[in-house]
């Protein structure tokens, strides 16, 4: 199965201080055909105006991963964690038994642009925790760089789910592959540029759901940055 979700099929919200696109049903956006993909339940592409953000709010039993595309995002939480993350940084917060946090644009002049990703955990009621790692641009060029995994291997952030997240930056001469084991599915989200995935054309903001395909091929890339999610079926 290869099923495309085009950029213009995503949900959209404009709150003035926040412009957001929702790949799956979220908040006031509801699409019965887009309720998530396996344990992957949220991919929001958010753009927050200078000095604005999400006030303190709570989460429980969710793996929340933030991938900054441009600008600086400030995070504070009830665990006492506080940080500012920028492009190349990946933040993982396991909400577990419950955590409260806020997220604000750290800049008074520039908009911050980021992806917020929610993955349902395979364990409930764990103590909340926080982790942050930096992945330099060179490590993503022409390859799939593991940034999140169930065991934290290769310097990735640890996700409490049998899911692996890869980031990649590709251009015209790049041709890479990813083997998808039996019983696994995959989700590709195109952040920038355009490419073909198993012959399916994707452009900025597009995504591809993949099942029952043994090898995923990335070809004909033009200034591409993408995320690949390797997920349980």
Q: Each residue of 26-50: pLDDT tens digit? A: 999 999 999 999 999 999 999 999 9
What domain range is 123 assigned to?
2-232
CB atoms within 10 A of CB 220: 15
Q: What is the pLDDT of residue 233?
A: 85
pTM over 0.95: yes
Residue 113: C-alpha distances to residues 16, 48, 53 (Å): 14, 7, 12
In which element (H, E) is residue 197 found? strand 184-197
Which tens digits make up the pLDDT trace of 175-208? Answer: 999 999 999 999 999 999 999 999 999 999 999 9
Cα dihedral sign for 211, 198, 121, 12? negative
> Which among 166, 187, 232, 159 has a CA at the least distance from the CA of 23?
187
Average pLDDT, the chain: 97
Q: Give the pLDDT mean for 70-81.
A: 96
Examine the pLDDT at 173 and tell me if it is beyond 90: no
CA–CA gap between residue 7 and residue 205 (Å, rounded)? 5
Total domains, the chain: 1
Percent of the chain at pLDDT > 70 equals 100
Distance separating alpha carbons of residues 161 and 159, to the nearest angstrom: 5
pLDDT one-digit tens code per residue, 126-137: 999 999 999 999
- Give me the CATH number covering residue 73: 2.60.120.10
CA distance 151 to 158: 6
């Amino acid at each position: 199965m290869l099923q495309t979700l085009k950029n213009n099929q995503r949900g959209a919200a404009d709150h003035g201080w926040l412009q957001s696109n929702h790949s799956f049903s979220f908040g006031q956006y509801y699409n019965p055909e887009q309720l998530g993909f396996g344990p992957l339940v949220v991919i929001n592409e958010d753009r927050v105006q200078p000095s604005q953000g999400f006030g303190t709010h709570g989460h429980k039993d969710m793996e929340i991963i933030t991938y900054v595309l441009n600008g600086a995002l400030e995070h504070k939480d009830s665990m006492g964690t506080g940080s500012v993350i920028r492009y190349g940084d990946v933040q993982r917060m396991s909400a577990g038994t419950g955590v409260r946090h806020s997220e604000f644009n750290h800049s008074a002049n520039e908009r911050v642009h980021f992806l917020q990703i929610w993955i349902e955990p395979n364990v409930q009621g764990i103590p909340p925790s926080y982790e942050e790692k930096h992945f330099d641009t060179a490590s993503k060029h022409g390859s799939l760089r593991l940034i999140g995994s169930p065991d934290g291997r290769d310097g990735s952030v640890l996700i409490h789910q049998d899911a692996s997240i890869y980031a990649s930056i590709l251009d015209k001469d790049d041709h890479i592959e990813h083997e998808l084991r039996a019983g696994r599915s995959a989700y590709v989200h195109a952040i920038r540029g355009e490419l073909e995935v198993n012959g399916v054309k994707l452009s900025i903001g597009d995504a591809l759901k993949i099942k029952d395909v043994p090898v995923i091929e990335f070809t004909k890339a033009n200034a591409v940055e993408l995320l690949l999610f390797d997920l349980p079926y």
